[in-house]
Amino acid sequence: MRNAKWKAATRAAFALTGVGALAAGMAMLLPGTASAGTTLGASATEKGRYFGTAVAANRLSDGAYTTILNREFNSVTPENEMKIDATEPQQGQFSYSSAERIVSHARSQGMSVRGHTLAWHSQQPGWMQNMSGSALRQAMLNHVTQVATHFRGQIVTWDVVNEAFADGSSGARRDSNLQRTGNDWIEAAFRAARAADPGAKLCYNDYNTDNWTHAKTQAVYNMVRDFKSRGVPIDCVGFQSHFNNDSPYVSNYRTTLSSFAALGVDVQVTELDIQGASATTYRSVVEDCLAVARCNGITVWGIRDSDSWRASQTPLLFNSNGSKKPAYDAVLAALNNGTTPTDPPTDPPTDPPTDPPTTPPPGQGGCTATVSVNQWTGGFVATVKVTAGSSAINGWTVGIALPSGATVTNAWNANRSGNTGSTSWTNVAYNGQVGAGQATEWGFQANGTAGTLSPACSAR
Ligand code: G3I
């Protein structure tokens, strides 16, 4: 049974392109034992998820901010720095310094990065706002291609298209200059993003898509179903989840997540904040995500209330002075007590891995490591699973010999020594402690061909 689940989850994970899908699959394999994680990132990792936050580049010089960021989170989303007005302020002139500051910080801390966002009706620079028709279509596609190419290998997931559907009961696309270039602008953006960065998972991201009965939710669902049926390269759907009195959390949120997941995409909570930060509501959101195998991560839209775009609603997990709120405790408890989901992905595998992993026999103490590879022409993503033997471990080191021509470009949830030939990897702060028989995952992306990788694990 366990092997069957392992194979199903692994095959489904490899049908996608990134580590998150595999992590979600892994979550189905691990026993649902209570864990002892003491940070959001560590506890989410134990459930095969990431826990992220929006980050503003200009706050990275605030020591209190970065202390919480580095301690609690293992994924970041640039809050504004990868938007169109920031990255292409003049047509054809790209500006990446603020975004790179965040990517660099994330990399130094072993955090993964969600890219936000390549195509959007809002926060367009003036030159784009004034464009229309085929010139705008070309400019949009060039933007997607240039930015995704620039960050290729450094972004685990891109929000390719953001907020393309109208509010209200119409179920229609939102009117915008991009929409007026033709209804196929969204799929064109996804195809351009896939071509530019084949290793990134590609998401559609929107708000007010939480309530399963709402027209907007159904309209996005129908688009994703259509995309999957026609082979448009979409891997995931982001649910912003800005909950407030006008747009509250609803109990069918879990149904929404699981219904989208059943289309064969990952689902992610991408911009979570809750007016008043009800601990009960935060807990429900986490439990809903944990209940859906393909819900592979949660991102809150800021760290402290004072960092929020809606600061007066005090919607986040930390007070403005940096102290943990009851909502924080509720989220951590939900992550630690969460049961592992049992609903397997329904998407049949379409793209089997080139190097299927095998489950290691539990060792006596120490650790074992297995690697699975998603290879495409010119590059690959390697997802590595470190499993503790019969005793808990306090840290791990994994050696991997890369074949000639393979060069690591990006890594997450591990510290790296070397990017070609003999590489050595050690745990980051939040994933060194692994219980007996338990596992943690990390990964890297590289140029070249993986061939057969044989990781060697040693424990501390
Ligand atoms: O940095 C300038 C500052 O120099 C200037 O003095 C000030 C004057 O207004 O503006 C500052 O820029 C603001 C920027 O946030 C940084 O604080 C912009 O005006 C303001 O428009 C911008 O708001 C952002 C908003 O997106 C814009 O649409 C929020 O920070 C950001 O949290 C928010 O994020 C969006 C997601 O991208 C998509 N989903 C909804 C979410 C919330 O609106």
Catalytic residues, by residue number, are 163, 271
Distance from the alpha carbon of residue 310 to the mean position of ligand 1, in angstroms:
10
User: HSE-up of 333 (CA within 13 Å, CB side)?
Assistant: 12
- Provide the pLDDT for residue 18: 36
Measured in whole angstroms, how far is the alpha carbon of residue 233 from the centre of its chain? Answer: 16
How many angstroms separate the CA atoms of 304 and 165, rounded?
30
Q: Is the CB of 79 under 6 A from ligand 1?
A: yes
- Provide the pLDDT for residue 75: 98
- Provide the pLDDT for residue 90: 98
- 312-330 core/surface letters (b: 16 or more CB in 10 A; e: else): ebbbbbbeeeeeebebbeb
How many angstroms separate the CA atoms of 434 and 439, rounded?
6
Distance from the alpha carbon of residue 123 to the mean position of ligand 1, in angstroms:
9
Q: Is the CB of 81 under 6 A from ligand 1?
A: no
Q: Is the CB of 206 under 6 A from ligand 1?
A: no
Distance from the alpha carbon of residue 80 to the mean position of ligand 1, in angstroms:
7
What residues are paired with 446 via a beta bridge?
Answer: 380, 408
* Ligand 1 pocket mutation pick from 77, 79, 122 by most atoms within 8 angstroms of CB: 79
Q: Two tokens at 54?
A: 């929006």
How many angstroms separate the CA atoms of 82 and 76, rounded?
12
Q: Is the CB of 129 under 6 A from ligand 1?
A: no
What is the value of pTM for the model shown? Answer: 0.74
Distance from the alpha carbon of residue 56 to the mean position of ligand 1, in angstroms:
10
Q: In angstroms, what CA-CA distances link 9 with 200, 221, 235, 326?
A: 19, 23, 16, 35
Per-residue pLDDT of the chain (460 residues; tens, 9 = 90+): 333 322 322 222 222 233 333 333 333 333 334 446 899 999 999 999 999 999 999 999 999 999 999 999 999 999 999 999 999 999 999 999 999 999 999 999 999 999 999 999 999 999 999 999 999 999 999 999 999 999 999 999 999 999 999 999 999 999 999 999 999 999 999 999 999 999 999 999 999 999 999 999 999 999 999 999 999 999 999 999 999 999 999 999 999 999 999 999 999 999 999 999 999 999 999 999 999 999 999 999 999 999 999 999 999 999 999 999 999 999 999 999 975 444 344 443 344 334 444 434 444 589 999 998 876 778 887 888 889 898 888 899 999 999 999 998 777 778 888 889 999 999 887 678 888 888 777 788 788 899 999 999 999 9
Query: Which amino acid appears at position 176 of this protein?
Result: S
Distance from the alpha carbon of residue 144 to the mean position of ligand 1, in angstroms:
21
Nearest CA to ligand 1 atom 43: 309
CB 18 within 8 A of CB 156: yes
Q: Is the CB of 142 under 6 A from ligand 1?
A: no
Nearest CA to ligand 1 atom 30: 309
Nearest CA to ligand 1 atom 17: 309
Nearest CA to ligand 1 atom 13: 80
Nearest CA to ligand 1 atom 35: 79
How many angstroms separate the CA atoms of 348 and 8, rounded?
9
Nearest to 53 by CA among 68, 73, 71: 73
Nearest CA to ligand 1 atom 29: 309
- Provide the pLDDT for residue 66: 98
- Provide the pLDDT for residue 359: 39
* Ligand 1 pocket mutation pick from 117, 121, 309, 316 by most atoms within 8 angstroms of CB: 309
Q: Is the CB of 80 under 6 A from ligand 1?
A: yes
Q: Is the CB of 244 under 6 A from ligand 1?
A: no
Distance from the alpha carbon of residue 170 to the mean position of ligand 1, in angstroms:
28
* Ligand 1 pocket mutation pick from 77, 80, 85, 275 by most atoms within 8 angstroms of CB: 80
- Provide the pLDDT for residue 430: 66
Distance from the alpha carbon of residue 345 to the mean position of ligand 1, in angstroms:
36
- Provide the pLDDT for residue 126: 98
Report how far apart the first and last C-alpha atoms of the chain are (Å, whole number): 32
Q: Two tokens at 62?
A: 């605030």
Nearest CA to ligand 1 atom 14: 80
* Ligand 1 atom nearest residue 302's Cα: 32
Distance from the alpha carbon of residue 311 to the mean position of ligand 1, in angstroms:
12
- Provide the pLDDT for residue 434: 82
Q: Is 340 exposed, middle or buried (0-12, 13-18, 19+ CB in 10 A)?
A: middle
How many angstroms separate the CA atoms of 63 and 80, rounded?
20
CB 382 within 8 A of CB 416: no
How many angstroms separate the CA atoms of 372 and 17, rounded?
12
- For 444, the 3-state DSSP assignment is strand
Q: In angstroms, what CA-CA distances link 274 with 144, 239, 271, 292, 324?
A: 31, 13, 10, 21, 15
Q: Is the CB of 123 under 6 A from ligand 1?
A: yes
How many angstroms separate the CA atoms of 422 and 403, rounded?
9
Q: Is the CB of 221 under 6 A from ligand 1?
A: no
